[in-house]
Amino acid sequence: LTQQRYPVTRLPFSAVSAEDLAAFERILPGGVVTDPEVLEASNVDWLRTVRGCSKVLLRPRTSQEVARILRYCHERNLAVNPQGGNTGMVGGSVPVFDEIILSTTLMNRIISFHSVSGTLVCQAGCVLEELSQYVEERGFVMPLDLGAKGSCHIGGNVATNAGGLRFLRYGSLHGTVLGLEVVLADGTVLDCLTSLRKDNTGYDLKQLFIGSEGTLGVITAVSIQCPPKPRAVNVAFLGCPGFAEVLQTFSSGKELLGEILSAYEFMDAECMWLVTHHLHLASPVQESPFYVLVETSGSRAGHDAEKLSDFLERALSSGLVTDGTVATDQTRLKALWALRERISEALSRDGYVYKYDLSLPTERLYDLVSDLRARLGSQAKHVVGYGHLGDGNLHLNVTSEAFSPSLLADLEPYVYEWTARQRGSVSAEHGLGFKKRGVLSYSKPPEALRLMQQLKALLDPKGILNPYKTLPVQA
Ligand code: FAD
Ligand code: MLT
Ligand code: ZN
């Protein structure tokens, strides 16, 4: 078996036998799925660009069941692909060949919530949006939010170290995750599910699993710090005449909005074209080369409104912004956010999508987009730039009618070399998965790659957990 578009050969894992299925059925009565129709959805990723051919999907409910499955698979040398909501962007969530899919779908129990500390402890398969609703009813918010909230699981978020739309305010999951329970490749349950804010008792082992994309262990439960729900939220959606003005508006926002600035996202005119044409969303502002979404979150509506109007007045009068609209009620807030959150959905309706998720020096963030537009000319349908500008994170996406090897050859390694020259990252927040593992060396030195391989060998000596993913291909 060899994968076509990305050449890779199946490693010598065992194939699932009838006895294996019977053993799984004993561990998980009713939780073993072999129906090809159900498997079809779990074998293909959200972007529909990678596809595996797994014949079995397992749905455990408890950590003990996960432990028993992994112990068995370890003994039998069976490869396992952990899967959450299957919304990952780098092909890490689906098998490459016939790996067993281990889904967290039924592990969706909230274990505890403490209303003084705001600490939520839950199983890994809880859907992010459902957790948001749960904590919001109690006066808190989740420290992360992303367009995939309706499907992604908290375990998947932690496994990919997802960034998203609240990163600017609440920072990385490396800070907000307080504890994890993880089942290791051999079935050992590692209980680091504490809820302590401070704990310097040696190496912080949970950090290893945050962003490990299912290659070092299966995350079964998460303890996470939830901040209080802001009482006042405003969203301003603004049109900017150029990228220089997008940057200056950001500087001005940091200065004038200060502690209430909670998101600063940008998108270019082509993104607006995509969401208005493919999703029929209406643009709330005049046509502009760039748009920014500025969110404020604070504790007093009057104070925030005063600051925001001062910021907007100055931005308009100085020409940084040419048009804008502000929302405070839930419905309009959501409508403005949708213009930004649904860009990836609009892109996938445009054709084949070449996706790049880069960390770059903020001042140079858009140069690569303009550069590529000129380089690719009419080969590409669209070349778009959007993303988490406040975090220095560009989403550069190119679409074409169908997959084109010559277009790919013009994109890669060009994009990666460009990024490496800026000392940027070839994956800011989506991870490496299957698609990006080959380009890791543009952002990490050989010594770091070697240590990653050593850690993998220590934690998963047989390499059964998410093979062909994240780690560079061994020489
Ligand atoms: P999956 O896609 O199922 O899996 C992702 C990876 O994690 C795989 O390698 C899988 O093996 C592993 N994994 C899953 N669960 C576990 C577990 N319990 N234990 C161990 N490994 C596990 N990402 C961002 O960072 N920021 C964004 O703003 C953002 N927006 C998005 C918007 C849309 C519309 C979509 C479709 C995706 C977006 N993403 C974003 C991508 C992001 O990686 C995922 O949405 C999310 O974090 C993955 O969660 P999931 O449950 O779907 O995981
Ligand atoms: C986003 O910020 O919209 C996500 O990371 C998804 C994407 O890049 O398409
Ligand atoms: Zn993003």
For the CA of 340, the closest atom of ligand 2 is 3
* Non-local CB neighbours of 106 within 8 Å, separated by 6+ positions: 31, 59, 60, 61, 125
Q: What structural domains does the chain harbor?
A: 110-225 (3.30.465.10), 232-343 (3.30.70.2190), 353-436 (3.30.70.2740)
- The alpha carbon of 90 and the centre of ligand 2 are apart by a number of angstroms equal to 12
The DSSP letter of residue 99 is: P
pLDDT tens profile 318-339: 999 999 999 999 999 999 999 9
pLDDT tens profile 377-417: 999 999 999 999 999 999 999 999 999 999 999 999 999 99
pLDDT at residue 129, as a whole number: 98
For the CA of 88, the closest atom of ligand 1 is 2
- The alpha carbon of 394 and the centre of ligand 1 are apart by a number of angstroms equal to 18
For the CA of 265, the closest atom of ligand 2 is 2
Q: Whose C-alpha lies nearest to ligand 2, atom 2?
A: 387
* DSSP labels, 233-278: EEEEEEEESSHHHHHHHHHHHHHHHGGGEEEEEEEEHHHHHHHHHH
Q: Which of 43, 46, 87 to mutate to test the pocket of ligand 1 (most atoms within 8 A of CB)?
A: 87
Q: Which ligand is nearest to the CA of 391?
A: 3
- The alpha carbon of 240 and the centre of ligand 1 are apart by a number of angstroms equal to 32
Task: Name the token pair of 289.
Answer: 């080369």
Q: Which of 44, 93, 131, 341 to mutate to test the pocket of ligand 1 (most atoms within 8 A of CB)?
A: 93
Compute the mean pLDDT over every residue in the chain, rounded to the nearest whole number: 97
122-159 burial: b if 16+ Cβ within 10 Å, else e: bbbbbbbbbbbebbeeeebbbbbbbbbbeebbbbbbbb
pLDDT at residue 5, as a whole number: 61
Task: Name the token pair of 315.
Answer: 């931005």
Interface confidence (ipTM) of the complex? 0.99
> Does residue 343 have its Cβ closer than 6 Å to ligand 2?
yes
Q: Is the pLDDT of residue 475 over 60?
A: no
Q: Whose C-alpha lies nearest to ligand 2, atom 9?
A: 344
Distance CA 219, CA 222 (A): 8
pLDDT bin (cut points 50, 70, 90) of residue 281 is very high
Please tell me whether the peptide bond between 413 and the residue prior to it is cis, using omega within 30 degrees of 0. Answer: yes
Task: Name the token pair of 294.
Answer: 């500025």
> Does residue 427 have its Cβ closer than 6 Å to ligand 2?
no
> Does residue 429 have its Cβ closer than 6 Å to ligand 1?
yes
pLDDT at residue 223, as a whole number: 98
> Does residue 88 have its Cβ closer than 6 Å to ligand 2?
no
> Does residue 260 have its Cβ closer than 6 Å to ligand 1?
no
For the CA of 430, the closest atom of ligand 2 is 5
Task: Name the token pair of 239.
Answer: 């049109």
* Non-local CB neighbours of 386 within 8 Å, separated by 6+ positions: 265, 266, 267, 268, 271, 340, 343, 394, 395, 397
Q: Which ligand is nearest to the CA of 359?
A: 3
> Does residue 45 have its Cβ closer than 6 Å to ligand 1?
no
- The alpha carbon of 445 and the centre of ligand 2 are apart by a number of angstroms equal to 27
pLDDT at residue 133, as a whole number: 98
> Does residue 348 have its Cβ closer than 6 Å to ligand 1?
no
pLDDT tens profile 124-182: 999 999 999 999 999 999 999 999 999 999 999 999 999 999 999 999 999 999 999 99
- Are 109 and 65 in contact by the 8 Å Cβ rule? The answer is no
- The alpha carbon of 397 and the centre of ligand 2 are apart by a number of angstroms equal to 10
**H/E element, 165:** none
42-77 burial: b if 16+ Cβ within 10 Å, else e: bbbbbbebbebebbbbbbbbebebbbbbbbbbbeee
* DSSP labels, 460-474: -TT--BSTTSSSPPP
pLDDT tens profile 338-348: 999 999 999 99
For the CA of 164, the closest atom of ligand 2 is 2
Distance CA 376, CA 411 (A): 8
Three-state DSSP at 216 gives: coil
Q: Is the pLDDT of residue 73 over 80?
A: yes
- The alpha carbon of 157 and the centre of ligand 1 are apart by a number of angstroms equal to 5
Q: Which of 58, 83, 218 to mutate to test the pocket of ligand 1 (most atoms within 8 A of CB)?
A: 83
pLDDT at residue 473, as a whole number: 78
- The alpha carbon of 262 and the centre of ligand 2 are apart by a number of angstroms equal to 18
pLDDT at residue 3, as a whole number: 52
Torsion of CA 319, 385, 393, 84, to 10 degrees: 140
- The alpha carbon of 277 and the centre of ligand 1 are apart by a number of angstroms equal to 27
Distance CA 330, CA 334 (A): 6
Distance CA 432, CA 214 (A): 11
Distance CA 53, CA 39 (A): 8
